[in-house]
Structure 1
Amino acid sequence: SKGSPESKPAPTSKSPPPSKSPAASQAAAASKPSAAWRNPWLVVVLLALGLAAWQWIETRQKLTDTQQELARRLADNDSVGAEVRGLARQSQEQVAGVLGRLGALEAKIAESQSQQAALEQLYQNLASNRDEWVLAEVEQGVTLAAQQLQLAGNVQGAMLALQAADARLAGSDRPQFISLRKVLAGDLDRLRALPQIDTAGMSLRLESVINAIDTLPLAVEGRPQAGEAAPAVAADASAEAPAAASSPSPSIASVEFWQRLVSIELWQRLAGEFWSEVKSLVRIQRFDRDEPALLAPGQAFFLRENLKLRLLNARLALLARDQWTFLNEVQHAQAWIDRYFDADAAAQQTAQLALKQLAATEINIEMPTLNESLSAIKTFKLGQERK
């Protein structure tokens, strides 16, 4: 039965494996190296693989260095190429600009040639057409008047040119020119309404002030003139000499002497002479402005020359109708004359009066245009051509 102890199998005892003998172990150890040397190609292959790996690594490193160097040189080449491209682009732009200017000059030359040819043709046609000839003269006169106004501000010259154009139209005695004469009359009325500027007269006044600069006395040079006191004593001596010569006796002369000595007129004359002498020694002058600066002789020379330069600049500004520059220079000249020169001198007062009048004059006048007259002439010419 299963529960009986007799039914259990008997335990089996495992015997240890038999141990190898020392001789067998030595034989096995000797057989291992002999197996490795038995296949030398394996060693060669391993060495070859190691050498190949080392060469691959070295080649890879060199390739990396070469790539980096190549990239650096490519970057340098790119920067140089960018500069070259920029210079080339700039050169192309300059060439294009030069070509453009050359083309513009050629166009202007062609335009001038065409205008010259047109003018020649116009002159030829005007020779056979009296009305066109008159219109050309009138247009030339109006153009001249416009140039006088815009370039030189010469109102009188512009009025003379317009009056000549109107006289030319009136001389032709053609009814179709009445409308043109009305337009010219309107422009003439506008020019007559402008304030008149005597440019030549103002320039001459500036020149007179410039010439008077060297004669203006400085404020620190004012001194009393010698010889102001009347030589009353000499006159008395000369008057008394004949009296003494004609005196009949010393007693009579002594009586007259004491009478003259106690006379009031003598003491008044002596007091006047004494006061004249005192005034010649001391001078009291009142300045209603700041005390004038002391100037050395060299500084006085440069002061006068700089003052002349300012007045010359004012003269140029007058001719150019530059109101700001003209007024600025004249005012500076007034300030210098008032500060450094004697205000009581007649020459200084005359110069200041002239400069004051010049500074109060308006020289920058807005000139009207003659576009209406020019447009009317062109419109009339187009109407004549269409006929």
Structure 2
Amino acid sequence: MSEQPQTDDKPDLLDYLGRLQPALILALLALGIAGWQWWDSNNRIHQLQAELGQRLAASSSVEQESRVLSKQAMDATRDLSVKLGEIQGKLADSQNQQLALEALYQDLARSRDEWTLADIEQIVLSASQQLQLAGNARAALIALQSADTRLQRLNKPQFTALRRAINDDIQRLQAVPQIDTVGITLRLDALIVDVDDLPIASDHEIPAAQTRTRHPQPAGMANRFGREVWQELKGLVQVRRMDAPDSALLAPEQVYFLRQNLKLRLLTARIALLAHDETSYKADLQAAQHWVKRYFNSSDARVTNALVSLGKLANSPVSIQLPTLSESLAALQSSRIGRNR
């Protein structure tokens, strides 16, 4: 009876161990997994610590470099600020100089315009005097064209009205008929030179004694003296045939004054030509024609040519209707008043 219970306890223990073995296995597995996780976590923590240490060291190095770079940037910024201040100062000086230069340029341009306007005014006044005093339309035209060229070079809009007035006067001067003043003056000068060579109709000059061939004569003081006296008497008296019985007989002194008065007539005709005074011009030439016909030898070719020239000159028109430059002068006055304002 004592052996039966002993036999019954063994199966119970085996059953208990059988039931306990899966749980133990599970517990051991759980313990193993927990150990592995702890070990893995521990390794990861060490790795993170090492990585964090490396990053902290790198961050410290970067921070140090950043501080160095920041200091350098601050120094560079400070230098740039100084340079910027210098540049701003120079820029301000440059702007002041530019303003001064612009003011100076405006003054110079204004002065240049005023000088040019004054020169043009002198040119126009000179052209007006040429028209009024000498009647020289050609010289006035050249002067106005020179003034227009000066204004064209300026190319300023404020001088447009002045250029228009000058161009209008230029067109009026170009429409004036041209007179050959120079050619007529040269012909008058040639006549003045020829006056001294014109022969007088009643020339009292004693001709030079002709050379006579001496023939042998009988010797004798009385005969030789008589022949010489006869030659002298023949030289004192001249007998000429006068085509016009009323021709004036002039003494040598009167001949001199006649030639001088004839020259004066031609000279006054030339002055009247330059002044375009046709009445005085023709009166002087007609008086010169009358004197040449009356006192000079009309059968001589030189006198005939002089009369022909005097007739042609007397028939040449010398009077022209010259325009005035009042429009250009008024435009100049308006330009000057506008600039003064």
Q: Structure 1 length as normaliser, TM-score?
A: 0.45
Return the alpha-carbon distance in structure 2 between the equivalents of residues 308 and 374 of structure 1.
Answer: 40
Matching of residue 213 in structure 1 with residue 168 in structure 2? no
Aligned to 1:155: 137
| 2:336 corresponds to 1:381 | yes
One-letter amino acid of the counterpart of residue 184, structure 2: M
Unaligned runs of 5+ in 1: 1-124, 222-282
1:234-253 paired onto structure 2 within 5 Å: none
Quote the Cα distance in structure 2 between the aligned partners of 1:379 and 1:160: 23
Q: 174, 178, 185: which is aligned to 2:167? A: 185
Quote how far apart the aligned CAs of 1:164 are.
0.9
Q: Which ranges of 4 or more aligned residues in structure 1 deviate by more than 6 Å?
A: none
Could you give the per-residue CA deviations for residues 51-73 of structure 1, whole angstroms, max 9, x where no partner exists? Answer: xxxxxxxxxxxxxxxxxxxxxxx
- Judging changes above 3 Å, is the alpha-carbon distance between structure 1 residues 126 and 359 closer, same or farther for their aligned structure 2 residues? farther
Aligned equivalents of 1:141 and 1:294: distance in 2?
54
Are the counterparts in 1 of residues 133 and 275 from structure 2 also a CA contact under 8 Å? no
Q: What residue identity is the alignment partner of 2:192?
A: I
> For 1:291 and 1:158, how far apart are their aligned partners in 2?
54
In structure 2, how many angstroms separate the alpha carbons of the residues matched to 1:137 and 1:302?
Answer: 49
Highest CA radius of gyration, 1 or 2? Answer: 2
Partner Cα distance (1:197, 1:341) in 2: 31
RMSD of Structure 2 on Structure 1 (CA):
3.1
String of CA shifts for 1:357-378, please: whole Å, max 9, x gaps: 2222333434321111111222
Go from structure 1 to structure 2 and tell me whether the alpha carbon gap of 1:211 and 1:197 turns closer, same or farther (over 3 Å shift): same
Identity across matched positions, percent: 47
Where does 1:16-165 land on structure 2 (aligned, <5 Å)?
Answer: 128-165=110-147
- Aligned partners of 1:344, 1:126: CA distance in 2, in Å? 74
CA 1:368–1:215 in 2, change beyond 3 Å: closer, same or farther? same
Instruction: Quote the Cα distance in structure 1 between the aligned partners of 2:111 and 2:260.
Output: 62
Q: Is the 8 A contact 1:126 1:132 kept in 2?
A: no
Conservation of the 8 A alpha-carbon contact between 2:202 and 2:250: no
Q: Deviations over 1:144-176 (max 9, x none)?
A: 211221122222221121111100011112344
C-alpha distance in structure 2 between counterparts of 1:334 and 1:137, whole Å: 47
- Kindly state the Cα deviation for residue 329 of structure 1 after the two structures are TM-superposed: 1.6
Q: 1:166 aligns with which of 138, 141, 148?
A: 148
Mean Cα deviation higher: 194-203 or 326-335: 194-203
How far is the alpha carbon of 1:292 from its aligned partner?
5.6
Question: Could you tell me which amino acid in structure 2 is paired with residue 314 of structure 1?
Answer: A
Corresponding pairs, count: 199
What is the alpha-carbon distance in structure 1 between the residues aligned to residue 134 and residue 337 of structure 2?
A: 31
SS at match of 2:269: helix
Cα separation, 2, equivalents of 1:306 and 1:158: 34
Partner of 2:300: 345
SS in 1 for 2:147: helix
